[in-house]
Structure 1
Amino acid sequence: MPPTAHTDVSTPDAPAAPVPDAAARRVIPLRHPGRWIATIVVLVLLAQVAHGLVTNQFYQWGRFAHYFFDPAVLDGLVITIYVTAASAVLALAGGTVLALARLSRSPVLQAVSWTYIWLFRSVPLIVVLLFLYNFSALYQTLSIGIPFGPAFITFGVTALATDTVIAILGLTLHESAYAAEIVRAGILSVDQGQHEAAAALGIPRYLQFRRIVLPQALRSVIPNYVNLLIGLVKSTSLVFYVSLLDLFGTVQSLGSTYPGDIVPLLLVATVWYVILTSVVSIVQYYVERRFARGALRTLPPTPLQRLRRGFTQLRARVAVPR
């Protein structure tokens, strides 16, 4: 039979929906009323604290400004920086030796290192400093020679044990125990496969440690050791008890001479300690960022880069038409 003609029975096209304008298509951000309330509460509290600091005459900000750059205070600050720097370097060196001794295969080295760490982590720092300060009462002279035999070199303890030497030695002995555990943890954090690969290549053990293990361990060691260093900055305030006039010792001495200025003097010491620890924290950030190369695909932005990015985003938001 002949083919029938095809008849289009489709319905006519429906009218297109109206396209919403830009204002209707704008995404409405999610509201966070709790965040805004918490922000307002914190700002109000900060404003009250600032108001109390400014208006309370008991703080004596004029006397604070007078003592902040006082020559005696600056001399004490220099002593604090010197003792901290010397103790930090020596403690890191001593802690590295103790960590390697504890990780060695010699049972004698392991036992001596463990005993040292256990002892100095158990004894308060002030006790160590006072013991060293009175060490000359126990031993007037020290000698180097054969045990139970002749002595080759003999020297007096009083001539060598100055206040500065006692402070640096006490801080070094105490902080080395903590630094040893930090270094040991950093070495153990390196994957065991790195050691096995280096040994399979026939690399000597000292080169394995210097070129392979140590660079990777520093990524873990540096943040923890900087925390120890910040604590060391504040621990130097105890050297006042061994007659060394550091920053805190100078403030204490001036406070005894001028009892009415004790509060501004304590504020001076507080601000200087905050400045010192802030500088250490800034150095820590950039050192960590440098050692993060190779471990991260993208390095974290610096505070200056974050500030520039924030200004760029703010400028872009302002430029967008509403």
Structure 2
Amino acid sequence: MASNKVTNPAKNKRLSYGPVSTSSNNGQKVPHVDAKKKPPGSRGKAKQTSRSDLECICPICEDPIIDSSQLSIMCEGKCAAWLHRGCAGLSRAALSCLDSSPLPFLCPHCRLEAQSAEIESLRSSLSAQSLEIVSLQNSITSLTEQIDALSSSLSPSPNNVPSSTSHPRERLPPQSRLPPSLDSSHHRFNIIVSGIEESPVGTPRTARINSDINAASAILSDFSTDGTPPVYARDCRRLGRYRQDAPSPRPLLVTLNSTIEVSNVLFKCQRLSLTSKISSNTNRDAAIRYRDYYAVSSSIPQDNSVFLRISPSINIRDYVTYMA
């Protein structure tokens, strides 16, 4: 049996029982009217003149909501109409959950209008982004054309390249700063430096080479004359096999950048012996002389090589031998 509790739908705008009568008129139920509020589903100003003006009409089935046993819910969209629970497509459990939900309930008509508005907003955003993409593509095309123009202006054209007959190539000076070639003449850039301590056992190869180059460059920088750039080692490597019980470190084969640097080193040396053999020195022990002889005869080509002997104290004390 339906409950006799009177509930005005206008007081609960989310969900309610349908309006019930408070007085009987020939057995017909008349909706309850609150003088301060509009009856739900009414349009414009509240009227109490006739029953048809006070009835709530469901926009789905177009039937009035007049019985207390009919659960209804109010649309929170633009129409603000009341719908039967069944017409709204809601179960009783779903209807009870909607009362505590923060999301607004919309009837099918208002839901379609909201979706249409959202679709139009997305289309507008997509159109704006498409215009931005086109603008970026135009900018990229313009920048590409500028880069191509700069590349064309920097690269020499065949007409601007001078021919060998009209402009003969000038001969380079004999002692220029050219890198050593692959022929036998590259031995002229080599100097053997003795007395530089070797790196400890277990040091990586790259670290050993860098240490030897830095040490050789530090020593050879003292041989630069006035008005000439300092002498630096371009490459170096140890001569002979490593022996842990050796009395002294192995000689270091140092490659310079030009023959001018070699000449500067030779010019600075105090004792220069232009011989084709190891110079005899009574102050040198036999082991050191044999080691130098072994380096000359086995490891290093004997043509156009420069040998520099430096003591462990980094002072020139012994000799320099230039292999003629």
TM-score by length of 2: 0.27
Higher share in helix: 1
TM-score by length of 1: 0.27
Please identify the structure whose Cα radius of gyration is greater: 2
Which structure has more RCO (C-alpha within 8 Å, separation ≥ 6)? 1
Higher share in strand: 2
